[in-house]
Amino acid sequence: MNARKVILFANTDWYLYHFRLSLASRLRDEGYDVVLLSPGGAYGSMLLELGFRWQSVPMQRRSLNPLRELLLVRWLVRFFLKEHPEIVHGFTIKGAVYGSIAAKLAGVPVRVNAIDGMGYVFTSNSPKARFLRPMVRRVMRSAFQGTASALILQNSDDMMFFRESKIVDERSMRLIRGAGVDFNRFVPRPEPIRDQVQPLRVLLAARLIWEKGIGEYVEAARILKDENRSIRFLLAGSPDKGNPAAVETRLVRGWSEEGLLEWLGHVDDMRSLLSNVDVVVLPSYYREGLPTTLVEGAACALPLITTDGPGCREVVSCNGTDGLIVPPRDARALADAIRLLDQDRALCRKLGLAAREKGLSEFDEAVVLDKMLALYQELCSFHELPQLIRPECARS
């Protein structure tokens, strides 16, 4: 019997490597024939070295050229016709929409569409974003309809948005929180959080776009530096080139030269980095899907500071219990929360342990992947495809 083929399609190879490698590995272990599809980049060769079949696709992530986008869909249709997959799973709005449209045209039986966050079109109030919004809604409505089709969302706010927008039938929507983090790899350091004498090490790890709260983080650092507090502010991430909200590199370098923060650039080994910090912050006012950086911090039993925004509130839901919540766009409130943890290291430990306990039950990789594979099996059953998933591996 031939293995069931699934194509995982994303808008960057970086995304596949960092956020969907565990899904690809689990599928391969379960007997699937896995094909990874994305635009070319530095991580394609790394996926190949891991034994996966990866194919570069002629896609420009930020393109709005109608002809180029039609050519991309045509390329995808031809690729799907050649490969004969039984499942196409697209990630992010562009990957999900184009992958689903092409899969419908190519007669692919099962389409899974994962929206990790609402993106620039739905989060920005710029004239360009407002102009594109109705058009994108109509395209999504067309792309996501179908019997053996599901839309995966990562937080309750996005579920509400799609329910009220009536983009898809509510019965096809599924809530699966995040891509999953391996809580056996991301673990607390053995020693308790460092004593009051040593500088508190605070980390913001994110794409460098303003909506992640970069400006508020810098201003909070300035406030606390003016108080002569010995706090180290670390910033990990690179500017998201092509994103209209990208923070300019010259600004980040200027903040570093001013001594407000230490810019680490892009960091591949987050596990190592998190073992050397004391607090994780994400003062986002972006419509997050489910922030992996917060979940990784929770897995390491680090205290979290974030906003009560979509995605973020899924990880930190009770202020003072599983983390600290500050208002968005409020640098002074962020500074107050960081100061509180600097003054109370026992509170740091308490919040971190509570975050890890919650994460184990809701965001652990095994929990997320079990739900994902159970969904594959459910959708494939509509077409009476052969069962490849062992019952004990299909827990929901």
Backbone angles phi, psi at 163, to 5 degrees: -65, -45
Could you tell me the CATH superfamily of domain 5-180+364-393?
A: Glycogen Phosphorylase B; (3.40.50.2000)
**Residue 394 confidence class, pLDDT cut points 50, 70, 90:** very low
Examine the pLDDT at 269 and tell me if it is beyond 80. yes
pLDDT band at 164 (very low <50, low <70, confident <90, very high): confident
| Angle (nearest 5°) at CA 124 between 141 and 70 | 45
Q: How many CB atoms lie within 10 A of CB 259?
A: 10
Beta strands 149-153; 262-265: pairing state: unpaired
Tally: H helices and E strands in the chain: 16, 13
Residue 364 has pLDDT above 80, yes or no: yes
Fold of the CATH domain 200-362: Rossmann fold (3.40.50)
Task: For 90-100, write each residue's pLDDT tens digit.
Answer: 998 889 999 99
Mind listing the pLDDT tens digit for each residue in 36-91?
A: 999 999 999 999 999 999 999 999 866 667 888 899 999 999 999 999 999 999 99
Across 118-131, b (16+ Cβ under 10 Å) vs e yields bbbbbbbeeeebee
- The CATH 3.40.50.2000 portion of the chain extends over 5-180+364-393, 200-362
Q: What is the pLDDT of residue 242?
A: 67
Whether 29 and 6 have beta carbons less than 8 Å apart is answered as no
pLDDT at position 395 is: 38
Tokens representing 221 are 């650092």
Q: Are strands 149-153 and 110-115 parallel, antiparallel or unpaired?
A: parallel
Task: Concatenate the DSSP letters of all residues of 108-175 into one string.
Answer: -SEEEEEE---HHHHH--SHHHHHHHHHHHHHHHHHH-STTEEEEESSHHHHHHHHHHT-S-GGGEEE
Cα 373 versus chain centre, distance: 19
pLDDT of residue 121: 67
Lowest mean pLDDT among 112-121, 188-197, 305-314: 188-197
Reported confidence tier of residue 142, pLDDT bands at 50, 70, 90: confident
Q: What is the mean pLDDT of residues 324-351?
A: 96
Q: pLDDT at position 124, please?
A: 66
pTM equals 0.86
Q: What is the pLDDT of residue 197?
A: 60
User: How far is CA 353 from each of CA 303, 322, 356, 390, rounded to the nearest angstrom?
Assistant: 8, 8, 5, 34
